[in-house]
């Protein structure tokens, strides 16, 4: 079913010019008297409160980092403190008019943003709601220390709670928002709309669009703000996130009832510096971050530069931009100008800027400036401002004292297994929402569903091998599992390159285009970082998502999103967030050096990911079903060598109904007594062929075990097999050096040392680039390699004449030359 956007030659060749419209710079011109129509005295005192609180919060951090003490309280803080002294007005301006349903993502320099958003939410939430949040959040662990002896209002209590939770998090205490597993650069508190802050520069730029997507797809209220620095606009993933957010399809192809463009503000906290490099005038060429909106879409992202050294223009901008987003005209780019008076971190000697420059910004400091403005116009009495400041400083200091007190705020016990326990959530969630899943047709009418009914699901058809066209294959198995979950979980969506009309590059999704509305299955831009980043953001908001990378080779493009985002947030939230993402990754064949690499080892090395690689229809369906019922990130490798392969091992065939396979369980594909051959990926089929030859030619009985999964992995069946045979050969198509099989081999050596006749032998692809298909047989393990390896390194095969080089001498020679 082709799309309805027709590209007409006469249109694209017509003469025209591309026009840009003016991008406002500091257009805000309201006097404070004019603003009185929008703000009560309490509002203004609130803004003042929040700015002072942030300043005090960070001043304390700065003092203890640089001097080891504050007002007589000594404390050595080992972790980082990226301070934002000077940026308070920008943070408060950003957060002040946002509602709890508006979600902010941020950067390493986010203490101020967190506090500002927290105070804003506290102001807006009703007392009973605040109490409910504080008592239920981690069963009151943060509330208990701060409610002791508190005689003030609920809102005051909530502010104590929030300042204390933030300090505790920064100081790695049990009483932190995330039990200290997030820390200074990653602290967040979802009940107040504060989502993960990212130590990876620009990290929020690719994740936050997924949160905005979640709001659209699931019709949730509110907008999303990605607070990122000026230097982060040099990061590819930020551009990808912008591209993803600005896709026309939200307004051209999606159901307009969903609300149109993504409700997201890319808010640049523009302090004119990275650590020492200056995007303005040195490391970039756009001069104004706001200019960057010009190329993105005809609305130029509604880009605007605002004065973030005064909270009022920022509040004004956010109020206007939120309206734009609610009208479905997003995304928005804001260039909020501010200045970091503090160093990048306390060890920063400010060698990259002049003293004079810092002094000038100190003279313009937003906190005294705001105070003076209010006093000069007689809007708020000096005494009232001073009283607020005194109270803020006292509370902040009190909370600091509580947070550093190990008796009140203990660290997670060093011998506890907490980190291990929260690496995976290991839950089962049938559906993340109860509404009816949206479909375009009755599934019984779906052509692919109908076609699958006629396919043969068993290894043989009337005693004969099944013809390729008739076999229910791996591709079908994944489709069936996907459709099942799509039909149960209304939040489930899938996206990636060429996912919709093309059906995914390898036609796994063929038929889903007819079945699903755009917002449940769509083409993404060629933006691998944004594909994975958006999936992470979507999942963090509470939706199930399947993202696809067309080739494993492209994982590098999404490197950060896979290794630092997808893998980390469950544990960094101390188990409060789940990550129900299946990342489908196809492993190529016959496409040479950049399209045919098995990268299982890369993700195997990254704690926090489940890594599976089924290669039979039975396994693919059962494991996809399990992955789609779980709450953990699963990197789901698929081999292009076997998409067409029918079931060859399960005599009863692939069930039409639902079943799951425990991801940790290896599968014994063939029983044997003399040798265990362990595989991961399509090497299974090579191993089975080798087992046939070993039996036929040498009477050697091989047990073939397919790991199916690298993480998690139950070693018991492997140990059981090795205890029986005493000999192990491990095979995968990944390049041999550092392959998953080496870890399995090393572990089995320890687990089965007394039962082994000799050391396990690992065979993988050569440590080369993947050559052209005509040469692949010299690269990927072949049956002959396995036979020769058995002969040379496990058990001499009588009369066997090796045709390939598998000896230990050859291994040593190759290692010596680095190949
Ligand atoms: C991907 C990445 N590269 C580099 C760094 C090291 N680093 C930390 S902060 C920073 C400067 C970031 O500048 P900007 O985005 O303007 O934010 P600011 O620090 O000014 O708030 C750098 C280079 C990092 N954390 N992540
Ligand atoms: Mg900066």
Is any ligand 1 atom within 6 A of the Cβ of residue 229?
yes
DSSP result, 578-630:
---EEEEEEEP-SS-TTT----HHHHHTSTT-EEE---SHHHHHHHHHHHHHB
Going by alpha carbons, the residue nearest to atom 11 of ligand 1 is 274
In a mutational test of the pocket of ligand 1, which residue from 268, 274, 563 has the highest number of ligand atoms less than 8 Å from its CB?
A: 274
Q: What is the 3-state secondary structure (H, E, C) of 388-437?
A: HHHHHHHHHHHHHHHHHCCCCCCECCCCCCHHHHHCCCCCECCCCCCCCC
Q: How confident is the model at residue 539 (pLDDT cuts 50, 70, 90)?
A: very high
Q: How confident is the model at residue 546 (pLDDT cuts 50, 70, 90)?
A: very high
- With 0-12 / 13-18 / 19 or more C-beta atoms within 10 angstroms meaning exposed / middle / buried, residue 468 is exposed
Alpha carbon distance 393, 361 (integer Å): 23
Is any ligand 1 atom within 6 A of the Cβ of residue 201?
yes
Q: Atom of ligand 1 at shortest distance to CA of 200?
A: 26
Q: pLDDT tens, 484-509?
A: 999 999 999 999 999 999 989 899 99
Catalytic residue chosen out of the listed positions 344, 484, 519, 595: 595
Q: How confident is the model at residue 415 (pLDDT cuts 50, 70, 90)?
A: confident
Q: How confident is the model at residue 613 (pLDDT cuts 50, 70, 90)?
A: very high
Helix residue ranges per DSSP H, 125-197: 127-136, 143-147, 154-170
Phi then psi for 103, rounded to 5 degrees? Answer: -110, 135
Q: Is pLDDT above 80 for 607?
A: yes
Alpha carbon distance 723, 726 (integer Å): 6
3-state SS assignment for residue 477? helix
Computed over every residue of the chain, the mean pLDDT equals 96
Q: pLDDT tens, 154-192?
A: 999 999 999 999 999 999 999 999 999 998 889 999 999
What mean pLDDT do residues 786-805 have? 97
Contacts of 260 (CB under 8 A, 6+ apart): 250, 251, 254, 327, 328, 329, 330
CA of 331 to the centre of ligand 2 (A): 21
Q: How confident is the model at residue 2 (pLDDT cuts 50, 70, 90)?
A: low
In a mutational test of the pocket of ligand 1, which residue from 108, 110, 283, 558 has the highest number of ligand atoms less than 8 Å from its CB?
A: 108
| H helices, E strands: number in the chain | 29, 22
Q: pLDDT tens, 728-774?
A: 999 999 999 999 999 999 999 999 999 999 999 999 999 999 999 99
Is any ligand 1 atom within 6 A of the Cβ of residue 275?
yes
CA of 731 to the centre of ligand 2 (A): 48
**pLDDT over 70, % of the chain:** 100
Going by alpha carbons, the residue nearest to atom 5 of ligand 1 is 201
Task: Give the pTM.
Answer: 0.97
With beta carbons less than 8 A apart as the criterion, state whether 139 and 45 touch: no
Reported in sequence order, the residue ranges of 649-746 that DSSP labels E, i.e. its strands, are 667-670, 675-680, 702-706, 709-711, 728-735
800 classed as catalytic: no
Question: Which ligand minimizes its atom distance to the CA of 200?
Answer: 1
Is any ligand 1 atom within 6 A of the Cβ of residue 271?
yes
Q: pLDDT tens, 432-460?
A: 999 999 999 999 999 999 999 999 999 99
What mean pLDDT do residues 69-82 have? 94
H or E segment and range at residue 493: strand 493-496
Going by alpha carbons, the residue nearest to atom 12 of ligand 1 is 274
Q: pLDDT tens, 13-38?
A: 999 999 999 999 999 999 988 999 99
Nearest to 667 by CA among 629, 703, 634, 627: 703
Antiparallel, parallel or unpaired: β 709-711 and 610-612: antiparallel
Q: Is pLDDT above 60 for 1?
A: no
The reported pLDDT for the residue numbered 775 is: 95
Q: Atom of ligand 1 at shortest distance to CA of 199?
A: 25
Q: pLDDT tens, 694-735?
A: 999 999 999 999 999 999 999 999 999 999 999 999 999 999
Q: Atom of ligand 1 at shortest distance to CA of 203?
A: 1
Alpha carbon distance 430, 488 (integer Å): 7
DSSP code of residue 189: B
CA of 596 to the centre of ligand 2 (A): 39
The reported pLDDT for the residue numbered 414 is: 83
Q: How confident is the model at residue 346 (pLDDT cuts 50, 70, 90)?
A: confident
CA of 619 to the centre of ligand 1 (A): 43
Is any ligand 1 atom within 6 A of the Cβ of residue 87?
no
Q: Is pLDDT above 80 for 4?
A: no
Alpha carbon distance 727, 819 (integer Å): 26
- With 0-12 / 13-18 / 19 or more C-beta atoms within 10 angstroms meaning exposed / middle / buried, residue 266 is buried
Sheet holding 610-612, edge to edge: 521-523, 493-496, 545-549, 581-587, 634-639, 610-612, 709-711
In the numeric block, the tokens 């000026």 are attached to 230
In a mutational test of the pocket of ligand 1, which residue from 90, 202, 231, 266 has the highest number of ligand atoms less than 8 Å from its CB?
A: 231
Is any ligand 1 atom within 6 A of the Cβ of residue 199?
yes
Q: Is pLDDT above 70 for 3?
A: no
Is any ligand 1 atom within 6 A of the Cβ of residue 555?
no
With beta carbons less than 8 A apart as the criterion, state whether 422 and 479 touch: no
């Amino acid at each position: 079913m082709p799309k309805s956007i027709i590209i007409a030659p006469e249109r694209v060749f017509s003469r025209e010019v591309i026009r840009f419209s003016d991008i406002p710079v500091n257009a805000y011109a309201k006097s404070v008297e004019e603003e009185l129509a929008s703000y009560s005295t309490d509002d203004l005192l609130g803004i003042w409160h929040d700015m002072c609180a942030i300043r005090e919060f960070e001043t304390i951090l700065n003092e203890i980092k640089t001097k080891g003490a504050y007002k007589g309280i000594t404390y050595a803080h080992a972790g980082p403190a990226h301070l934002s002294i000077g940026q308070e007005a920008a943070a408060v301006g950003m957060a002040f008019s946002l509602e709890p349903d508006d979600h902010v993502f941020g950067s390493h320099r986010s203490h101020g943003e967190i506090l500002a958003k927290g105070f804003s939410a506290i102001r807006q939430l009703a007392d009973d709601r605040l109490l409910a949040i504080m008592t239920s959040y981690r069963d009151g662990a943060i509330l208990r220390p701060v409610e002791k002896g508190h005689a003030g209002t609920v809102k005051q209590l909530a502010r104590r709670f929030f300042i204390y939770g933030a300090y505790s998090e920064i100081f790695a205490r049990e009483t932190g928002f995330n039990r200290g597993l997030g820390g200074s650069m990653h602290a967040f508190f979802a009940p107040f709309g504060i989502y993960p802050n990212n130590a990876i520069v620009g990290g929020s730029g690719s994740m936050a669009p997924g949160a905005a997507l979640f709001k659209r797809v699931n019709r949730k209220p509110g907008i999303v703000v990605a607070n990122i620095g000026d230097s982060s606009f040099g990061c590819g993933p930020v551009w990808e996130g912008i591209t993803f957010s600005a896709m026309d399809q939200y307004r051209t192809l999606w159901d307009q009832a969903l609300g149109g463009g993504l409700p997201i503000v890319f808010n640049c906290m523009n302090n004119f510096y990275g650590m020492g490099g200056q995007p303005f005038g040195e490391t970039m060429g756009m001069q104004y971050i706001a200019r960057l909106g010009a190329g993105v879409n005809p609305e130029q992202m509604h880009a605007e530069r605002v004065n973030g050294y005064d909270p009022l223009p920022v509040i004004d901008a956010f109020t206007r931009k939120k309206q734009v987003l609610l009208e479905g005209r997003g995304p928005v780019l804001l260039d909020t100008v501010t200045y970091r008076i503090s160093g990048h971190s306390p060890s920063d000697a400010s060698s990259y800027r002049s003293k004079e420059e810092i002094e000038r910004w100190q003279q313009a400091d937003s906190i005294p400036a705001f105070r003076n403005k209010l006093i000069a116009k007689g809007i708020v009495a000096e005494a009232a401002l001073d009283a607020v400041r005194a109270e803020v400083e006292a509370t902040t200091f009190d909370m600091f004292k509580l947070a550093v007190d190990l008796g009140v705020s203990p660290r997670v016990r060093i011998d506890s297994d907490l980190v291990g326990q929260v690496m995976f959530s290991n839950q089962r969630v049938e559906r993340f929402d109860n509404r009816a899943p949206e479909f375009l047709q009755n599934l019984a009418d779906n052509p692919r569903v109908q076609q699958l009914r006629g396919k043969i699901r068993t290894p043989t058809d009337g005693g004969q091998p099944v013809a390729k066209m008739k076999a229910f294959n791996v591709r079908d198995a994944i489709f069936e599992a996907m459709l099942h979950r799509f039909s149960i979980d209304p939040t489930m969506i899938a996206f990636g390159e060429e996912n919709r009309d093309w059906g995914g590059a390898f036609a796994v999704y063929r038929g889903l285009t007819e079945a699903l509305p755009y917002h449940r299955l769509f083409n993404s831009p060629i933006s691998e970082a944004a594909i994975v980043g958006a999936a992470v953001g979507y999942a963090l908001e509470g939706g199930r998502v399947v993202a696809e990378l067309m080739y494993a080779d492209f994982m590098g493009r999404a490197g950060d999103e896979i290794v630092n985002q997808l893998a980390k947030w469950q544990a960094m939230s101390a188990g409060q967030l789940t990550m129900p993402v299946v990342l489908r990754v196809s492993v190529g064949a016959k496409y040479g050096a950049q399209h045919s690499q098995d990268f299982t080892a890369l993700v195997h090395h990254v704690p926090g990911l489940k890594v599976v690689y089924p290669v039979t229809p039975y396994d693919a369906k059962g494991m996809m079903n399990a992955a789609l019922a779980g709450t953990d990130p699963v990197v789901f490798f698929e081999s292009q060598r076997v998409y067409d392969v029918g079931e060859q091992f399960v005599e009863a065939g692939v069930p039409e109904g639902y079943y799951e396979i425990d991801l940790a369980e290896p599968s014994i594909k063939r029983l044997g007594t003399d040798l265990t051959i362990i595989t991961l990926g399509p090497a299974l089929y090579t191993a089975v062929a080798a087992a046939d030859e070993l039996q036929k030619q040498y009477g050697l009985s091989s047990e073939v075990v397919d790991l199916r999964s690298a993480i998690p992995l139950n070693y018991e069946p492997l140990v059981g097999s090795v205890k029986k045979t005493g000999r192990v050969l491990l095979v995968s198509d990944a390049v041999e050096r550092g392959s998953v099989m080496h870890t399995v081999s090393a572990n089995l050596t320890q687990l089965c040392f007394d039962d082994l006749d000799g050391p396990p032998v690992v065979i993988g692809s050569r440590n080369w680039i993947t050559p052209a298909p005509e040469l692949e047989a010299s690269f990927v393990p072949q049956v002959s390699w396995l036979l020769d390896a058995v002969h040379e390194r496990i058990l001499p095969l009588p009369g066997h004449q090796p045709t390939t080089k598998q000896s230990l001498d050859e291994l040593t020679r190759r290692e010596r030359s680095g190949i």
